Chains A and B, each alone.
Chain A
Amino acid sequence: MLPILQTAATGLVAQRFKIDALANNVANVDTGGFKRMRVNLRDVGYVPASALAPEITPDQDAWVGTGVQVAGSQMMFDQGALQFTDNGFDLAVSGDGFFQVRMADGTTGYTRGGSFSLDVSRGLVDAGGRILLPGITVPEDAVAYNVAKNGEVTVLREGEESPEVVGQLQLARFANPGGLLSAGQGVFKPTAASGQATPGQPGSAGYGEVMSGAIETSNVDITDEMTSLVQAMRAYQLTLKVVKSLDDMLALANQSGATI
């Protein structure tokens, strides 16, 4: 009888994992640049019933499953809505691709953008102080600043007639963005599952466009998440009921003195 309890218990573990992910999504419905997480489930291996309960005779035998497990947690990179802000240095991507920033340890992190500002040396950095690659410096005498959709950064110096190019932003793509590792603050690191970063010109085939003065909001759809959360909690409750019923049956078996 105990294998039955274990099978039912796998449902509790899996649903709990799913509820945690959904609750985190809901908590981050307003977090700029947040990408929702989806938990995928799959059933576990099937064995003959007699392997779990030796008293089962061959004519009563059947294939039984041993529960459910989490197949993986997938980060979903569908586009979040763009919100235009007052900060001219804010950046977002419309379409596929990530900006590249230099992490504190020298490696490259990838981000969908966010609030940028100038550091003491007038270099463009993100909210965490990470330099936006390839490194953009806005001169002191700049009176206007713009980033075109193709990533070209231009400034208009005082007294000049036409803008001057100070840098070219590139966007990086991944074969499987769902496999990226979140390093916090909207920055992601590549993994073996995500594949290597492929930089390219924004606006070219397959690459999104750079939106200046805007940030990408969370891609959490509150209705979807609440519906899934309710379903997951119902599944959790159902499994608890099953575990309770099985427990009652076991108690019955002990009481009556039957040795099944």
Chain B
Amino acid sequence: MVQGIDTTTASLISLQTRLMQLANNVANVDTPGYKQDVVELNDPAQANQSTYRLVSTSSGLQAEPVGSLGGILLAPDPPGLDLTAGILKPTGSQLDVAIEGAGYFAVQRGDGTYYTRDGSFLRAADGSLVTSDGGLVLGSKGAINLPDGEIKIDEAGNVWVAGNAIDKLRLDDFPAEVVLRKVGFNYLKPDDPNATPVPATGGVYQGFIETSNVDIGKTMVEMMSMMRSYQASQRILQLQNEALAKAVNDVARLA
């Protein structure tokens, strides 16, 4: 009805989606291998929305664009995944591995192959190398089973137990145009089920874990920015509401 209200509502809804992603980023500030969702607001290139005001013209009331309010009103572009590497934290545990550079560990779960940067692996009771939810970590020969003994993993991903070569950790990567999506439990999956992985170029470090790539400082600033945007949008909504009330009650008054 009044374009201004619709526009403001659209921006508030877009803000809500970004807020949800921000809240998830904050909750996962300590999750190993976590890749944050980009929730940037004030991108001038994207802020192409305008505000409107009601003016009375010869053909009746018209909504006239006033101008852009910059980043307050958002373009409906879904934000992407920030694949920046997290800082590697030394843990000293021989079952912890982290990837330096590009690539993902390949894990087999009941319904297919999943990918992860979280290398905090465990050894199951039957000796297989697993993730925290029991997914089998894959090597070049399939699922990796570790015999008893000291485990050594070199930078190429070769796994040695008590001096014997067991397998090589499979490191997969995807070309830039393949969109990856987080699916929970620190796993990622390509949106396109037919996307084929290619061998990765990254190296493996034993005794390290990749921390979350959530930047606390930047996240707090974004949150404050969103809060202000929300306040501004609320205020605009109020003003438009008042303008509409005037238009409905006063302008059309006959007596």
Contacts and interface: CB of A to CB of B under 8 A. Distances in A.
Nearest to B238: A256
A21 interface: no
B13 A42 contact: no
Interface string A1-34: 1011101101100110010000000000000000
B167 interface: no
B27 A10 contact: yes
Interface string B16-38: 11011111101111111010010
A134 interface: no
A225 B116 CA distance: 26
A195 B14 contact: no
Interface string B78-96: 1100000000000111000
B223 A245 contact: yes
Interface in A190-230: 192-196, 198, 205-206
B20 A7 contact: yes
Contacts, number: 187
Nearest to A200: B148
A246 to B, nearest CB: 7
Given A3-B20, A49-B20, A65 B182 contact: yes
B184 A235 contact: no
Contacts of A198: 148
B160 interface: no
Contacts of B23: 4-5, 7-8, 67, 242, 246
B111 interface: no
Given A43-B185, A76-B93, A195-B126, A231 B30 contact: yes
Interface in B84-120: 91-93, 118, 120
B168 interface: no
B210 to A, nearest CB: 13
Contacts of A232: 30
Given A42-B132, A63-B182, A206-B162, A14 B27 contact: yes
A67 B28 CA distance: 7
Given A43-B185, A52-B20, A252 B126 contact: no
A252 B231 contact: yes
Interface residues of B, number: 60
Nearest to A55: B13
A64 interface: yes
Contact of A235 (B17, B29, B237): B29
A236 to B, nearest CB: 10
A18 B30 contact: yes
Contact of B30 (A41, A65, A257): A41
A86 interface: no
Nearest to A256: B234
Interface in B30-54: 30-32, 34, 37
Contacts of A66: 24
Contacts of A63: 181-182
Contacts of B235: 256
B121 to A, nearest CB: 10
Nearest to B120: A40
Contact of A42 (B31, B79, B181): B31
A168 to B, nearest CB: 21
Interface stretch (A120-128, A159-167, A174-182): A174-182
B201 to A, nearest CB: 26
A173 interface: yes
A76 to B, nearest CB: 6
Interface-central residue, B23, B28, B124, by most chain A CB under 10 Å = B23
Contacts of B241: 257
Nearest to B17: A49
Interface string B227-243: 10011001101100100
A60 interface: yes
A69 B84 CA distance: 23
Interface-central residue, A15, A38, A43, A198, by most chain B CB under 10 Å = A43
Nearest to A50: B17
A71 interface: yes
Nearest to A65: B24
A158 interface: no
B125 A8 contact: no
Closest 8 CB pairs of A and B: A195-B125, A11-B27, A65-B24, A71-B132, A45-B184, A64-B20, A7-B23, A67-B27
